[in-house]
Homo-oligomer: A and B are copies of this chain.
Amino acid sequence: MTYKAPVRDLIFALNEAAGFGALTAAYPGADAETVRAVLDGAGQLASDVLAPLNRTGDIEGARYENGIVRSAAGFSDAYRQFAEGGWGSLASDAEYGGQGLPKALEMAVFEILQAGNLAFSLCPMLTQGAIEAIEKNGDARQKRLYLPKLISGEWTGTMNLTEPQAGSDLGALTTRAEKDGDNWRLHGQKIFITWGEHDMADNIVHLVLARLPNAPPGSRGLSLFLTPKRLVNEDGAPGEANALKCGSIEHKLGIHASPTCVMLFEGAKAELVGAPNQGLAAMFVMMNAARLAVGVQGVAIAERAYQQALAYALERKQGRSAWTGAYPSRIFDHPDVRRSLMLMKAKIEAARGLCLATAVAADLAKTAGNPVDRDTALFRQELLTPIAKAWSTDLGVEVASTALQVQGGMGFIEETGAAQFYRDARILPIYEGANGIHAIDLMGRKLALGKGQAVRKLVEDIVPTAAALKSADDAWLHTVGAHLESGLAAVQSATGWLIERRGHAQPDALAGATPYLKLLGDVIGGWMLGKGALAASKRLAAGDPDPDYCRTKIGLARVFAEQVLAQAPGLTQAVTQGSVDLFRATPEALGA
């Protein structure tokens, strides 16, 4: 269960698929040499420190003892190395100790760390979300007091949203804030709080959605609060314990080493972050960051599972290869196994491209040279975020499952680790918003952006890639282009139908949301691989020293086009014909 960071593939995806080159002006420090050094360093941490704790952490799990949560053996030390290496500060504001690098590079690093150890890396991922929420919404004092400690990794952060009666529907939250002199005090219970309590850092900064007295009902009455585990003195040192605690941790299918906490706020001292009743918008900053990061987790666990399956297929000998004639042959040389491996790899690279392109858009939304470009980039980021989250995590589950399958009976045995990836991956389509919610966000809020402009601009950007592929003097590139074109036509037709229905037949549009997200994801995935294939083709023509690598990139694009993209147009039916009429069935007729 070793892990080797796919540094070369990550650099290829950044440059050839995600458009990292557009960031050169704004991030002069993120030159090729720095990018490679950062990724190599992350790879070393992941391989040497995090990956070896993945299985032991799964077996041992986090342990709860009277309000205290003990992390699995080795985790505290690994966290110390993570923080000391500056791995939590890559994209943060230099004013508070960050390194000011692009989010796109940070996401590439996140992929590596999360592949090394998903349960571990959730802790810094949540911290990152807290940092962004304070950067965007905090006042000067809050930034000064909390950001340096969070960015350095000395403290960690959490997101406290879910309550038993309020999961997807945050409007139903009931945790309340009461005035106490100049302070607020929080009362309520939150569930599913990732790394809500642990022993790896000196303090934990909780960001909590709660209601002010007399707040309006629903999601318009939510405010964002900051409440630390230990109260922070004005000199920044953590002092006495706050009135909050972890009530229990969950016994879960996977990510055993990541404590999922019930958090009890029993009059905890808290400060308001941002304006009253604007909590949801403030929290969305965190959630957008976390959503992309969860999409990256889908890529990460798929890559890790794939690496294991590939190693197994190269090692395991069984039967005669109809291809090489060898007996016994490594199963890598059985066509069905090879198909399976290449399809996994193609899907991973498609999702990697999508996630990194989302991060590049986020960087451009902050740094592009003029407001029009910044708006365009912001629309792109907003449009891609739900797709990056949902499509990549469904893919993570699927690839972890296929990787297990390649290993046959051995994959089902816990000792080999394939089962852990399959278990761990399953949380990804659920947390940070269930994937169905992201599909609805895409169909609702995101289709509406600029009255449909976000999608139109995306389609416009894909068209030239499809055209270049189709007109290439290479049968494989041409095939990719042809499928990409059919996919685009399907996107346009489905989008038109949804935009029309959103007004007068919202339930029909809602019924088509999930297949629509799948369709867009498939087409964007094909676009990412298609861009990579065009670049690889140019490199080949220029006499690249590793033609195998370049040809494989073209092959992966074709595999994806024929094994995934070719089915995408069929999804149009699922989007446009799944009217709610069709779904009018009584519980009894459905077997209840």
* Most-contacted residue by chain B among A341, A431, A440, A562 (CB, 10 A): A562
- A430 and B411 contact, Cβ closer than 8 Å, known pairs A555-B582, A563-B574, A591-B307: yes
Confirm or deny: A30 has a beta carbon within 8 angstroms of a beta carbon on chain B.
Answer: no
CA distance A588 to B413 in the complex (A): 27
Q: Of all chain B residues, which has the CB nearest A342?
A: B583
CA distance A124 to B552 in the complex (A): 48
Confirm or deny: A427 has a beta carbon within 8 angstroms of a beta carbon on chain B.
Answer: yes
Confirm or deny: A206 has a beta carbon within 8 angstroms of a beta carbon on chain B.
Answer: no
Confirm or deny: A77 has a beta carbon within 8 angstroms of a beta carbon on chain B.
Answer: no
Contact B412 A514 (CB under 8 A): no
Summarize A's interface: helix, strand, loop or mixed: helix
CA distance A24 to B314 in the complex (A): 53
Contact A322 B510 (CB under 8 A): yes
Give 17 pairs: A residue, B residue, CB < 8 Å, sorted on A: A253-B423, A310-B590, A310-B591, A322-B510, A336-B511, A336-B514, A339-B578, A405-B430, A409-B430, A419-B426, A423-B423, A548-B586, A552-B589, A555-B584, A562-B573, A563-B578, A566-B571
Contact B252 A172 (CB under 8 A): no
- A335 and B427 contact, Cβ closer than 8 Å, known pairs A310-B591, A342-B590: no
Q: Which residues of A contact B (CB under 8 A)?
A: 4, 6, 9, 162, 165-169, 171-172, 191-192, 250-254, 306-307, 310-311, 314, 317-319, 322-323, 328, 332, 334-342, 345, 397, 401, 404-405, 408-409, 411-415, 419, 422-423, 426-427, 429-431, 434-436, 439-440, 476, 479, 483, 506-508, 510-511, 513-515, 546, 548-549, 551-552, 555, 558-559, 562-563, 566-574, 577-578, 580, 582-592
- A590 and B345 contact, Cβ closer than 8 Å, known pairs A335-B583, A515-B563, A574-B562: yes
Contact A587 B314 (CB under 8 A): yes
Contact A341 B429 (CB under 8 A): no
Q: Of all chain B residues, which has the CB nearest A514?
A: B336
A307 contacts which chain B residues (CB < 8 A)?
591
CA distance A531 to B284 in the complex (A): 49
A573 contacts which chain B residues (CB < 8 A)?
483, 562-563, 566
Q: Other CB < 8 Å A-B pairs besides A479-B577, A551-B589, 14 of them?
A: A162-B409, A192-B409, A336-B440, A338-B583, A338-B585, A339-B511, A339-B578, A401-B426, A404-B426, A423-B423, A552-B586, A562-B582, A563-B573, A567-B571
Contact B192 A322 (CB under 8 A): no
Q: Of all chain B residues, which has the CB nearest A570?
A: B567
Contact B436 A412 (CB under 8 A): no
- A582 and B570 contact, Cβ closer than 8 Å, known pairs A577-B479, A591-B310: no
CA distance A290 to B273 in the complex (A): 61
A552 contacts which chain B residues (CB < 8 A)?
585-586, 589-590
* Most-contacted residue by chain B among A9, A306, A582 (CB, 10 A): A582
